[in-house]
Amino acid sequence: MKAKAEAQPARLDGLKWALVVLLVSAAVLGNMYFDEAPLLYRAVGVVVFLALAGLVFTQTGKGQNFLVMAREARTEIRKVVWPTRPETMQTTLIVLAAVALVALLLWLIDTFLGWIIQSLIQ
């Protein structure tokens, strides 16, 4: 088992978070302010500002933890044994058959109970 050192808060994290919020706000407000500009230019501007905000985010303590978690998740996803196409089709057909059977049983129960209630009311 790996012993992980307790993460210490990175320096100037508060300032970095403020910059992230400022960049995201600038992207949103800039998109609204330049509503007469072509959509392509506004979209590029938003992407650039969000990319800068993401870059600043990765420099924070939480951003570093996120990057480590993303790398570990990528490693784990490679270990997954994915089903083959025939296995997927077979499982899907089994699920569809089970759903159809349960739907039929519920319809029969509903019809029977409706018939009983109908005969009691009349």
- State the pLDDT at residue 12: 86
Q: Which residue has the tokens 């990765």?
A: 58
Q: Could you report the per-residue pLDDT of 26-63, keeping only the tens digit for each?
A: 999 999 999 999 999 999 999 999 999 999 999 999 99
Q: What end-to-end distance do the CA atoms of the chain give, in Å? A: 73
Q: Could you report the per-residue pLDDT of 55-114, keeping only the tens digit for each?
A: 999 999 999 999 999 999 999 999 999 999 999 999 999 999 999 999 999 999 999 999
CA dihedral 53, 56, 61, 65 (to 10 degrees): 60
pLDDT > 70: what percent of the chain?
Answer: 92
Cβ(53)–Cβ(24) below 8 Å = yes
- State the pLDDT at residue 5: 46
Closest listed residue to residue 61, CA positions, set 20, 2, 3, 1: 20
| Sign of the Cα pseudo-torsion (48, 54, 60, 64, in order) | negative
Domain segments of the chain as ranges: 1-80, 82-122
Question: Burial of 38 by CB count in 10 Å (0-12 exposed, 13-18 middle, 19+ buried)?
Answer: exposed
User: 4 versus 14: which is more confidently predicted?
Assistant: 14
Residue 36 is classified by DSSP as T
Q: pTM for the whole thing?
A: 0.58
